[in-house]
Structure formats: C-alpha cells, structure tokens
Amino acid sequence: AQSVTQLDSHVSVSEGTPVLLRCNYSSSYSPSLFWYVQHPNKGLQLLLKYTSAATLVKGINGFEAEFKKSETSFHLTKPSAHMSDAAEYFCVVMTTDSWGKLQFGAGTQVVVTP
C-alpha cells in the first residue's frame, strides 16, 4: 500500500523567507507523487507532480520539490514566501492499482507573516 506522511501540521514563515514543507512516502513501487494547495473553502490546485522522470520537479508559483529515493522523501520548497502562499498544502501519492486513486497526507497549514 502507498501512503504519505507530512511531518509538520503547521509552518509559519516570514514574507520573503524560504518555505520548506516536508513529506515522506511509503511505496513498494516507484511512486507517483504530487503536491496540491488548497486555499480556504476552495478545491485543490496542483502545484507539481513527480512521475519517475527528473528527480527535481518544478511547479507553479515558484515551488519545486525533490524526490529522494534514499530518504523516501518529497519535500516542497520555495525560495521566497509570498503572502498569497498562505494556504493548506497536501502531499499526495497515487495508488498503483488500476484506479489510480490519490492518498492524501494530513496537510500542512502555512502561515505567512509580513
């Protein structure tokens, strides 16, 4: 079975400073991993996805994530936080069955202070 663990439930950063959101995965096979962002009372927007191509994945809005098999990690980073980055972030792994369901992590709430 596939699963992800988000190591921080809450991250607070100052505007203009780097953001790091940590995610570890568990999978018997090479996983398909995603980061989604959810703003209050909204659906989810895909930030980026890893599907066994390049280990460093660049996404939208300046976010990127690095797949590290040796550490079973897929951490999300951004060099400089913006106020609009305040949201809930989910690390997600796709199941390897034919359905390709998404298994969501518990989420990390990001707060950006001026």
The reply on whether position 94 binds another protein by CB under 8 A is yes
Q: How far is CA 75 from CA 10, 33, 34, 38, in A?
A: 15, 11, 10, 17
Do residues 23 and 107 lie in contact, with contact meaning Cβ atoms separated by under 8 Å?
Answer: no
The reply on whether position 22 binds another protein by CB under 8 A is no
Amino acid at 58: K
Please select the residue that binds another protein; options are 90, 93, 110, 112, rule is CB under 8 A: 90
User: From CA 16, how far away is CA 81, in angstroms rounded?
Assistant: 5
Residue 91 or residue 112: which is nearer to another protein going by CB? 91
The reply on whether position 7 binds another protein by CB under 8 A is no
Name the residues that contact another protein, by CB under 8 A. 32, 36, 41-46, 49, 51, 90, 94-102, 104-107
